[in-house]
Amino acid sequence: EVQLVQSGAEVKKPGESLKISCKGSGYSFTSYWIGWVRQMPGKGLEWMGIIYPGDSDTRYSPSFQGQVTISADKSISTAYLQWSSLKASDTAMYYCARHLRDVHEWAKNWFDPWGQGTLVTVSS
């Protein structure tokens, strides 16, 4: 079974750093992109960025470029999302999701499955 398991909920103070994780299993981790999606309380889904664990090629949404860092350690099939200095506005649920793509039509792609989510709370 293809599965993405995320690290547990975090409570942090403004200015602190944080790294959350997403561990893949049941498939070749290095062969598929992994994306990160933010969901602020009571709000919709926002794509943050995506990484190819095979070579760590990473793309960011312009809205999140410079605000977070996405990385991966293929030796342990784990992707990461990190902040160097958290803000209260970073309070949200964060999901990772495997990105699948049709080999013949690049734009024919989708996210499946999704991790269970990591709730990040930033409060003084």
Partner 1 sequence: DIQMTQSPSSLSASVGDRVTITCRASQSISSYLNWYQQKPGKAPKLLIYAASSLQSGVPSRFSGSGSGTDFTLTISSLQPEDFATYYCQQSYSTAFTFGPGTKVDIK
- CB 16, min distance to partner 1, A: 26
Region near partner 1 per CB under 8 A, out of 10-18, 19-27, 72-80, 108-116: 108-116
For tokens 């960025």, the residue is 49
27 makes contact with partner 1 (CB under 8 A):
no
- The distance of closest approach from Cβ of residue 50 to partner 1 in the complex, given in angstroms and rounded to an integer, is 8
- Alpha-carbon span 52 to 73, nearest angstrom: 11
State yes or no: residue 111 binds partner 1 (CB under 8 A).
Answer: yes
- Residues 87 and 43: their CA atoms lie apart, in Å, by 18
3-state secondary structure 16-78: CCEEEEEEEECCCHHHCEEEEEEECCCCCEEEEEEEECCCCEEEECCCCECCEEEEEEHHHCE
Is residue 64 part of the contact set for partner 1 (CB under 8 A)? no
- 47 scored as a contact of partner 1 (CB under 8 A): yes
Binding site for partner 1 (CB under 8 A): 35, 37, 44-47, 59, 61-62, 95, 97, 102, 107-117
